[in-house]
Amino acid sequence: MAEPTIYEISSQDRIGFRFPACDVPETALPEGLIRDELPMPEVSELDVIRHFTNLSRLNYSIDSGYYPLGSCTMKYNPKINEEVARLPGFAFSHPLQPVETVQGNLAMMYELQLWLAEICGMAGVTLQPAAGAQGEYTGVLIIRAYHHSRGDLKRTKMLIPDSAHGTNPATSAMSGFEVVGITTDATGNVDLDALKAVLDDTVAGLMLTNPNTLGLFDQNVEEVIRLVHEAGGLVYGDGANLNALLGIVRPGDLGFDIMHFNLHKTFSTPHGGGGPGSGPVGVAKHLVDFLPFPLVGIIEEGDEETPPLYGFVRPEKTIGRMKSFHGQFGMMVRAYNYISMHGPDGLRDIAESAVLNANYLLARLRNTYNVPFDRICMHEFVMEGHLDDAPDVHALDIAKRLMDYDFHPPTNYFPLIVHEALMIEPTETENKQTLDRFADVLIKIAEEARTNPDLLHTAPHHTPVGRLDEVRAAKELVLCCWLPDKI
Amino acid sequence: MFTPHTDSEREEMLRVIGVRKLDDLFADVPIKLRFPNLELPPAFTEIEARMQMEELAGANETAHDLACFLGAGAYYHYTPAAVDAIIRRGEFLTAYTPYQPEVSQGTLQAVFEFQSLIANLTGMDVSNASHYDGATATAEAAVMAYHHFRGKRTRFILSPSLNPQYREVVKTYMGGYENINLAGENLDPLCQPDDLASLLDDNTALLIVQYPDFFGRIFDFTALIEKAHQFGALVAVAVNPMSLGVLKTPGAMGADIAVGEGQSLGLPLSFGGPYLGFFATKKEYVRKIAGRLVGETADAEGRRGYVLTLTAREQHIRREKATSNICTNQGLMALATTVYMSLLGKHGLKQLANLCYQKAHYAAEQISKLDGYSVVSQRPFFHEFVVKCPKPVDEINWHLLDHDILGGYDLGQDYPSLAGHMLIAVTEMVSKDEIDALCEALEEVNNG
């Protein structure tokens, strides 16, 4: 039985929450500016709690099971982070308070800027961008502003390898760049010849995902960056896959000029069913002046007795403001706490365990599924969800069948350069027993694909709903609850 | 801690992989750069980490400890316990974007209900699944209008009483397009709708107004919107959704787009984020909305279900032809406000809006009686108003802090012509006694 909508359980004049009575003399509401109807639900608190609890039970989540969604870094989200983000000193501070009254917030943000800069080898970090895609946007706007500040207006092209993240082309287009694709060579690296062929003085930069979306560390990364720099371009690093690099190598040391972080991937802030994310951006020394404002800085030096006074500063050639206020502060609190609980050794352990888990799964599955770029991978790998002796079975069928075994499917049909791609990112927080169970099930599904393909075509069988009619959804376009008569 | 392997498990896994030691997995990383020493503090246990965070949080003074009269785009409201109880459930908190609908019906239906509540609250036909905040939702309205006219109309009129931070973000977002003309900045900040109407022309893509505006004033924009439509322009209204518990909707005024900051619907102040941008529009523009949309459908057995729909607009499919790159949005915050709007419902939302309105009007009335102070905002206003002060605003605010009062916003920071003017916000969280205490303290500064 499907859960009714909140409107369907509404009952006229039922009240769920009361505010205190008005303690001031009342004046009339402004005539002509009052709404006629307020079509909102009328439910009790228990109605609300039961409704949303029932809905929650229709969700798969990290807390309930294994979620190897490639490029999404679905690691365990420590519960302590939720506690500390709700401390009253953080939760009830207003973003426009005098800085003297929020030194705890600002000290934390200042230190987080430094820590992220240290982790990725960059000279400056902004915490403002709201999510990875906005971090990318920030980075690309910085590239644009950098060239323009030098009077170099002819750089209109952004190079994007076909193994890069999906948002990169849209981000570049939003910033007024023409997107030029770069192919991948047979070993899964950026094709150097293809790169050389397009490098000239119209290239603004290259957006490189490393490890790339095949889960592979580009073996020529230093050469790629050198070539782009030689042509006068800048190199942007997509930080979505940073989990593989913590304490392993710093993108800044490799020569990247800019990169973004996904606090909601690498630094364990929960995904929340689609946000909030947080996408800080780090830049090398020559780009610090272009960062968005405001940054957190020291506005009065301290001494042995008094701590410094933290406040907001505006970089000299700033690209402007990306969003209201100072970024997704609550996510910063969680990430700060997470880094505190790891330290340098713990961060390296994250990357090592993530890479170990991915290579272990790859080793267990490569004899069953075809892995097109088969070498030691980083934190994830991509295999084909297609078997030679089961031609009618597709990646989607395998993904849906995994649900029947109570696993969340991997990312499917991405990256586009692998036929019927299944992109698997185990993360570091999964134990060997879970990985073994997952590998066993995938091997069993391959067998089912050969012996009983219909079982896969009609999967999933044990979920709250079966495969949904997406064509109908787009055609009928019902985007709002049906409203009862009396509302 | 959070990585589970024992030494023997690690050995076994390396054996299956076929390498001797962990370091062998990183052979592709340039050796001279491999395994840097990170200058970071050593790891804390949970107990130590918590103490550190308590110390940092404890170094702040907050709206919770003070009587808060500060708003200007972020408002101190009460969050019912039920809201946090729901959003802390791991099933919502630790799920990803609902790409696999069969195992994400909870998130999908909640977003569908969010879209419904926002559409009904704003009086619009459809809402998307959320944006980062009010400022970026406003910027996305500008981007949508730009593409609606295929870049042929380049004038964007931004009311000077639009939140200055929203204006800045619109400016950043429009920076990637050629020859954009952002108008409106030079008008008197406290201008009337007619002054905006005089800026309209045939090249205007979008007019953006705020309601209640940055100074708390409320205007019926119906005539202005009609005028804009005569020029073929679109109109976006940036609205405080909480006010719509009583106020006439942007939809009823004929707006094409209603955007805004959802923080006032029960999200904690949290020093500015995470908040919630919302974006609602008319049916005819649904295919031009950025961001995610959830639609109703059914499975093969006819069971009702929900999916992400019209995904062909989005960046992962349309790639460089997409008009927005947004993917992760504010899912959990949308859920929080869905729970909040459901719980308060018709009765509570109306009661809340009325409380804020009444308390603000009482405060304005009392302040206007004080020597040296005058309330600049003419009625009607909603829950925020402008006060001309006898001394610099920051000086007054320091005095107020001594009385445990968080004073209003210093408008001189954004509007040179409004130096010495304070924007005061009043919500259900302050009592009559606290308003009276504010008046006493204000009087004291003037006399002191």
Whole-number Å distance between alpha carbons of B185 and B200:
14
Q: What is the pLDDT of residue B379?
A: 81
> How far lies A191's CA from each of A196, A221, A307, B229, in Å?
9, 11, 51, 52
For residues B278 and B259, the answer to whether their CB atoms sit within 8 Å is yes
Q: Give me the residues of chain B with pLDDT under 70, please.
A: none
B322: helix, strand or coil? coil
B14 belongs to a structural domain: no
Mutation target vs B (from A108, A109, A468; most B CBs, 10 A cutoff): A468
Q: Please name the residue of chain B whose CA is at the shortest distance from the CA of residue A141.
A: B176
Of A77, A89, A268, the CB nearest to B58: A89
Domain-terminating residue out of B339, B358, B376 = B339
Of A173, A364, A480, the CB nearest to B126: A480
B130 belongs to a structural domain: yes
Domain-terminating residue out of B300, B321, B339 = B339
List of chain B residues whose C-beta atoms are within 8 Å of the C-beta of residue A248: 26, 29, 34-35
Nearest CA distance, B110 vs chain A (angstrom): 8
Whether residues B294 and B152 fall in one domain: yes
3-class SS shares of chain B: helix, strand, coil, % to 5: 45, 15, 40
B20 belongs to a structural domain: no
B26 belongs to a structural domain: no
Q: pLDDT tens per residue, chain A (487 residues)?
A: 589 999 999 999 999 999 999 999 999 999 999 999 999 999 999 999 999 999 999 999 999 999 999 999 999 999 999 999 999 999 999 999 999 999 999 999 999 999 999 999 999 999 999 999 999 999 999 999 999 999 999 999 999 999 988 889 999 988 999 999 999 999 999 999 999 999 999 999 999 999 999 999 999 999 999 999 999 999 999 999 999 999 999 999 999 999 999 999 999 999 999 999 999 999 999 999 999 999 999 999 999 999 999 999 999 999 999 999 999 999 999 999 999 999 999 999 999 999 999 999 999 999 999 999 999 999 999 999 999 999 999 999 999 999 999 999 999 999 999 999 999 999 999 999 999 999 999 999 999 999 999 999 999 999 999 999 999 999 999 999 977 665 5
Cis-peptide, bond into residue A344, ω within 30° of zero: no
CB proximity A349 to B under 8 Å = yes
Whether residues B139 and B278 fall in one domain: yes
Q: What is the pLDDT of residue B327?
A: 86
Q: Give the A window 419-438 contacts with B, CB below 8 Å.
A: 428-432
Query: Cβ separation of A98 and B96 shorter than 8 Å?
Result: no
State the total domains in chain B. Answer: 2
CA dihedral A373, A377, A382, A387 (to 10 degrees): 60
Handedness of CA A401, A407, A408, A410 (dihedral sign): negative
Q: Which domains does chain A have, with CATH numbers?
A: 82-340 (3.40.640.10), 344-463 (3.90.1150.10)
B44 belongs to a structural domain: no
Q: What is the pLDDT of residue A327?
A: 97
Using a pLDDT cut of 70, give the percent of chain B over it: 100
Q: What is the DSSP string of A116-177?
A: HHHHHT-SEEE---SSHHHHHHHHHHHHHHHHHHTT-----EEEEETTS-THHHHHHHHTTP
Can you point out the beta strands (E) in B79-149?
A: 126-127
Whole-number Å distance between alpha carbons of B187 and B248:
26
Cis-peptide, bond into residue A410, ω within 30° of zero: no
Residue A111 host element (H or E): helix A103-120
Whether residues B435 and B334 fall in one domain: no
Q: What is the pLDDT of residue A485?
A: 61
List of chain A residues whose C-beta atoms are within 8 Å of the C-beta of residue B165: 321, 324-325
Whole-number Å distance between alpha carbons of B260 and B236:
10
Whether residues B319 and B276 fall in one domain: yes
Q: What is the pLDDT of residue A321?
A: 97
- Show the domain range for B440: 67-78+346-447
For residues A26 and B358, the answer to whether their CB atoms sit within 8 Å is yes
Q: Which residue has the tokens 């909305």?
A: B289
* Cβ atoms within 10 Å of A438's Cβ, excluding its own: 22
Within 13 Å and on the Cβ side, how many CA atoms surround B56? 26
Whole-number Å distance between alpha carbons of B325 and B132:
12
Q: What is the pLDDT of residue A486?
A: 52
Judged on CB neighbours under 10 Å (0-12, 13-18, 19+), B300 is exposed
Mutation target vs B (from A33, A83, A153; most B CBs, 10 A cutoff): A33
CB proximity A150 to B under 8 Å = no
Query: Cβ separation of B25 and A356 shorter than 8 Å?
Result: yes
List of chain A residues whose C-beta atoms are within 8 Å of the C-beta of residue B73: 96, 324-325
Nearest CA distance, A27 vs chain B (angstrom): 7
Question: A225: closest CA among B320, B36, B319, B33?
Answer: B33
Domain-terminating residue out of B321, B339, B357 = B339
Whole-number Å distance between alpha carbons of B321 and B218:
38
Nearest CA distance, A297 vs chain B (angstrom): 16
Please state, rounded to an integer, the average pLDDT across all residues of chain B. 96
Note the pLDDT tens digit of each residue in A33-77.
999 999 999 999 999 999 999 999 999 999 999 999 999 999 999
Q: What is the pLDDT of residue B316?
A: 73
What residue type is assigned to position B114 of the chain? F
CA dihedral B194, B196, B198, B201 (to 10 degrees): -140
Residue A81 host element (H or E): helix A79-85
List of chain B residues whose C-beta atoms are within 8 Å of the C-beta of residue A5: 109, 112-113, 116
Whole-number Å distance between alpha carbons of A5 and B306:
12
CB proximity A472 to B under 8 Å = yes
Whether residues B172 and B282 fall in one domain: yes
Query: Cβ separation of B96 and A174 shorter than 8 Å?
Result: no
B257-261 vs B374-375, strand pairing mode: unpaired
B425 belongs to a structural domain: yes
Whole-number Å distance between alpha carbons of B140 and B279:
9
Mutation target vs B (from A35, A242, A364; most B CBs, 10 A cutoff): A35
Handedness of CA B26, B29, B34, B39 (dihedral sign): negative
Task: Determine the distance from the C-alpha atom of residue A245 to the mean position of all C-alpha atoms in its chain, rounded to a whole number.
Answer: 16
Whether residues B74 and B85 fall in one domain: no
Whether residues B239 and B319 fall in one domain: yes
Q: What is the pLDDT of residue A205?
A: 98
State the pTM of this model. 0.97
Whether residues B107 and B247 fall in one domain: yes
List of chain B residues whose C-beta atoms are within 8 Å of the C-beta of residue A414: 316
Whether residues B215 and B274 fall in one domain: yes
Whether residues B246 and B220 fall in one domain: yes
Whole-number Å distance between alpha carbons of B180 and B142:
11
Whether residues B214 and B360 fall in one domain: no
Q: What is the pLDDT of residue A428?
A: 98
Please state, rounded to an integer, the average pLDDT across all residues of chain A. 96
B55 belongs to a structural domain: no
Q: What is the CATH number of the domain that holds B396?
A: 3.90.1150.10
Of A6, A176, A326, the CB nearest to B113: A6
List of chain A residues whose C-beta atoms are within 8 Å of the C-beta of residue B427: none
CB proximity A18 to B under 8 Å = yes
Q: What is the CATH number of the domain that holds B233?
A: 3.40.640.10
Query: Cβ separation of A119 and B40 shorter than 8 Å?
Result: yes
B437 belongs to a structural domain: yes
Of B42, B87, B126, the CB nearest to A479: B126
Whether residues B185 and B99 fall in one domain: yes
